[in-house]
Amino acid sequence: MVGHVVVIGAGVYGAAVAAGLARRGARVTVVEAGAPAGGTSGATFSWTNSCGKQPRSYHDLSVAGMAAHQRLAAQAPHSDWYHEGGNLEWAADEVGQERLRTKVANVLEYGYAARWLTRAEVVALEPDINPVALPEDEIAYFPREGWVEPTRLIGHLLATALSRGARLLRDDAVIDLDVDDSAKIRLTSGKRLTADAVVNCAGPHAARIAELAGLALPMRNTLGVLIYTSPVAVSVSRVVHAPHVHLRPDGGGRLLLHTEEVDSAARVTRGKTKVDQTAVEAVVAAGRDLYPGLRDATVESVRVGERPIPADGLPVLGRVAELPAFHFAVSHSGATLSVHAGDLVAAEALGEGQDDVLGPFRYERFART
C-alpha cells in the first residue's frame, strides 16, 4: 500500500487526483509552481462533452467523466460549479453541415443523447438569440452537455483533500526528480520530498516533468484565447457553437466567447503573449450578431491558456510500466475528464489496478510508434 504521494500541479487534474488519494487515506502533498488554477485550468472554455470523440474508448471515458461531474455536484453541499444546460451546434455551409450530420449519426450509434431542432425550437430554448442568425432546421442539440466553472471546482476538490490532511506547496516548482521504486523530488525553494509515488498533473508542463524522470512525452500544445464580457442582461442558458462564435455563460451575467480563429491571433514574443485586437473584435461582433443584447457588453478581459495536448490527441493516464512509482494524468478535455480520470489514477497510484479502463491511455503507446 502506497503511503505518501506527491501530486505535481494544482489544476483540475491535480486537484481531482489529490481528492481521490486523500479520500482513500493516503498522505498527499500537492506541489504547484504558481497558484492553484493559475494555469490552463483557469483559462479554459471548460465544455463538458463527448461529442464526436474517437476512438470508442475515449468516448466512453468522456461519458463517464460527464457522469462523475453529475454525481459530484449532487453529493457536494452548495455545489455551484457544474452546469448541464446542453449544447447547440449548427454549420454555415453544406460541407460543415454534412460533417455535423456524420457526428450526430456517430454519437447516436453510441447511445449518446442528441437530436435535431428547428429554428423555432431553438428560439424557445434561447429566447434572446437572433432568429435570423439560425438556419430553419438541422440544428444539433446535445442535451447532456454543459460546462464547469473550473476555479470553483478546483477549490472544492482541494478543500476536500486538505480537510483530509493533504498539504499544498504553492509557488514552488519541481526542478529535480529521481524515480525508481520511490520518488525523490527537489523544489526551487530547496525543499526535498520523498514519496512512494508521484503523479504528473503538470498540464502544458507535463513533458518537462516527464523529462526529469527520464521519459519523453510527446506533446503538441496549442494556445487558446478566451474573451470574457462585462456583465450584460442577456439570457444565455447553454453552450452554443455557432459558425463564427462559440459562447457560454460565465457567471455574474458575463459571457465567455471563443473561436478557433481567434486562437491563431495569439503570439508569444519574448515570453509575453499578445492577442491581435482585430481578431477579438471580430469574435465579439459575431456574438452581437447572434445575441443582439450583447451590444451593451464590453470586453472585460482576454485570457490565453496553453492547452496540454499529447501528440496523438488522447489522454495519458496511469502508471508507467518501467517506472511504477511514476503516474500521468495529462490530457486535452481536462474539464470533462478530470473528476473521473483523476480518481482512477489516484486509485491506481495506491495499488488498485485499472487496466480495463486506463489501458488505452497509457504512456507506453508512444514507445510502440
Q: Which three cell numbers stand for residue 163?
A: 480537510
Give the SS3 label for residue 246: strand
DSSP one-letter code for 295: G
- Residue 272 CA from chain centroid, whole number: 23
94-118 average pLDDT score = 97
Residue 71, H or E segment: helix 56-75
179-185 average pLDDT score = 95
Residue 115, H or E segment: strand 115-117
Amino acid at 137: D
Q: Which three cell numbers stand for residue 298?
A: 464590453
Amino acid at 286: A
Report whether 308 contacts 13 (CB < 8 A): no
- pLDDT tens-digit profile of 209-245? 999 999 999 999 999 999 999 999 999 999 999 999 9
Q: Edge-to-edge strands of the sheet including 299-307?
A: 115-117, 139-142, 87-89, 239-242, 245-249, 255-258, 222-229, 299-307
Amino acid at 130: N
| CATH class (in words) of the domain with range 85-145+221-307 | alpha beta
Compute how many other C-beta atoms are within 10 angstroms of the C-beta atom of residue 276. 14
DSSP one-letter code for 244: T
Report whether 123 contacts 96 (CB < 8 A): no
Question: Which pairing describes strands 197-200 and 82-83: parallel, antiparallel, or unpaired?
Answer: unpaired
How would residue 369 be classed by pLDDT, with cut points 50, 70 and 90? low
Domain(s) of CATH 3.50.50.60: residues in the chain = 4-64+150-218+311-367
100-107 average pLDDT score = 97
Average pLDDT, the chain: 95
Compute how many other C-beta atoms are within 10 angstroms of the C-beta atom of residue 263. 18
CA distance linking residue 342 with residue 330, whole number of Å: 9
What is the architecture, at CATH level 2, of domain 4-64+150-218+311-367? 3-Layer(bba) Sandwich (3.50)
- Residue 164 CA from chain centroid, whole number: 25
What's the confidence (pLDDT) of residue 43?
Answer: 85
- The four Cα atoms 85, 86, 92, 98 give a dihedral, to 10 degrees, of 180
Domain(s) of CATH 3.30.9.10: residues in the chain = 85-145+221-307
- pLDDT tens-digit profile of 276-306? 999 999 999 999 999 999 999 999 999 999 9
Residue 89's closest CA among 77, 103, 107, 75? 103
Q: Is 89 left (phi over 0), alpha (psi -120 to 50) or beta?
A: beta
307-311 average pLDDT score = 96
Amino acid at 205: H
What's the confidence (pLDDT) of residue 42?
Answer: 82
What's the confidence (pLDDT) of residue 2?
Answer: 67
29 phi/psi in degrees, rounded to 5: -125, 120
Instruction: Give me the percent of the chain exceeding a pLDDT of 90.
Output: 91
CA distance linking residue 118 with residue 139, whole number of Å: 6
How would residue 354 be classed by pLDDT, with cut points 50, 70 and 90? confident
Report whether 247 contacts 226 (CB < 8 A): no
Helix (H) and strand (E) counts for the chain?
11, 22
Q: Edge-to-edge strands of the sheet including 82-83?
A: 47-48, 146-148, 82-83
How would residue 269 be classed by pLDDT, with cut points 50, 70 and 90? confident
Residue 109's closest CA among 48, 49, 52? 52
Question: In this model, does residue 41 exceed pLDDT 90?
Answer: no
CA distance linking residue 292 with residue 183, whole number of Å: 56
Question: Which pairing describes strands 27-31 and 167-169: parallel, antiparallel, or unpaired?
Answer: parallel
Quote the pTM value.
0.96
- pLDDT tens-digit profile of 235-255? 999 999 999 999 999 989 999
